[in-house]
Structure formats: structure tokens, C-alpha cells
Amino acid sequence: MRRIAVSAALSAMLSLLAASPALAGTTTRKIHLAAASMSLTSFTCLNDTCSLGEATFVANAQSNLGGQGSFSATLILDFLGQPAPGGNCNIVDENDVFTFANGTIRIHSHHRDCATNGHRIDTTFHVTGGNGGFQGATGGGREFSAVNHSPVSPIIFNGTITF
């Protein structure tokens, strides 16, 4: 009798999990995002020496899941106590939005950028949300870019996304 009750309870729990909205209709896929032709749209000093600042950027975007689109970023930049544009390194708190015809993807990363080994950016990123076809997106991966040259190197995001 006890086995039947346990079996019935487990069966009920499994059916609830299968019907859960958090699990229904989710897809995990590889994602490749690129932001190129970057333009600085604003810079604001956040302290007297301008060693801390807020910058906004826009760029063209490309994705394996959204095709052509646009990119916007808001960065808090810490130039490590040196006046802008700082020395060889800075700390960045970055919030990005990739916009495509089928929806948006929001990304966050926090990293120390240094001009070493051919990369300026080499860090992890997290998918923090989305809308449209990417409603409720989560995921993450690696963000990287070469040492800044003219024109500015594209920023690449490779990882996985669940939506």
C-alpha cells in the first residue's frame, strides 16, 4: 500500500514538473552576436578627475539568431585612478542591448580590460533577458575583442541562450 502511495505521489510531482510554464516551450541554442562599426554617443565624467565615467555606444549588430540589427551599450568605466582615457587597463560594468526584427537580447558583463595578448576584452557575459522572440532569455558565454585599432575592432559574444 505504501509503495502505491509513493508511486502515485512521484507520478503527480513529475506531471506537475512537465506542465511547468518555466520548462514548457524553452529552447537552448548556441548564440553568436557581433557589434561592429561602434560609435561613442556620450561620455559623462562621474568624479572630479574623470577617472570614473559613463559612456554610451551604438553599433551595427549581427546574430545567428536575429540576422542584422542594432546594438546599444551603457558602460561605467573606472580608469583605475587615472584621468580619462586612462592607462593600459580599465574596469568596465557593461549593459548591452541587441535589437533585431524578431526581438531584443539584453547582456551584462563586468570585466577588467587590458591591452594584452592581442585582446582588449576577454571575459564572461550573461544574458539577462529579452523580449519578442527572446522573451525571458537567459544564458551566457565569452565576450572578446582585439586591442582597439582604427577602426575599432568588433566585439564578439559566443555562448548559449535559452528562451
Whether omega before 21 lies within 30 degrees of 0, making that bond cis, reads no
Q: Quote the pLDDT of residue 18.
A: 41
- Asked whether residue 13 is domain-assigned, the answer is no
3-state percent helix, strand, coil for the chain, nearest multiple of 5: 10, 60, 30
Q: Are 110 and 93 in contact (CB under 8 A)?
A: yes
What CATH number corresponds to the domain at position 127? 2.40.480.10
Q: How many structural domains are present in the chain?
A: 1
- Asked whether residue 158 is domain-assigned, the answer is yes
Percent of the chain surpassing pLDDT 90:
61
**Distance from C-alpha of 112 to C-alpha of 67, rounded to nearest angstrom:** 30
Q: Are 98 and 108 in contact (CB under 8 A)?
A: no
Q: Measuring CA to CA, which residue among 77, 72, 115, 113 is closest to residue 93?
A: 77
- Asked whether residue 119 is domain-assigned, the answer is yes
Residue 73 has pLDDT above 70, yes or no: yes
- Asked whether residue 55 is domain-assigned, the answer is yes
Q: Is 116 left (phi over 0), alpha (psi -120 to 50) or beta?
A: beta
Find the domain containing 68 and state its range.
Answer: 26-162
- Asked whether residue 15 is domain-assigned, the answer is no
CB count in 10 Å sphere of residue 161: 23
- Structure confidence by residue, pLDDT tens digits, 98-154: 999 999 999 999 998 876 666 778 899 999 999 999 999 999 999 998 766 556 689
- Asked whether residue 84 is domain-assigned, the answer is yes
- In the numeric block, which cell numbers belong to residue 9? 505521489
Predicted TM-score of the model (pTM)? 0.79
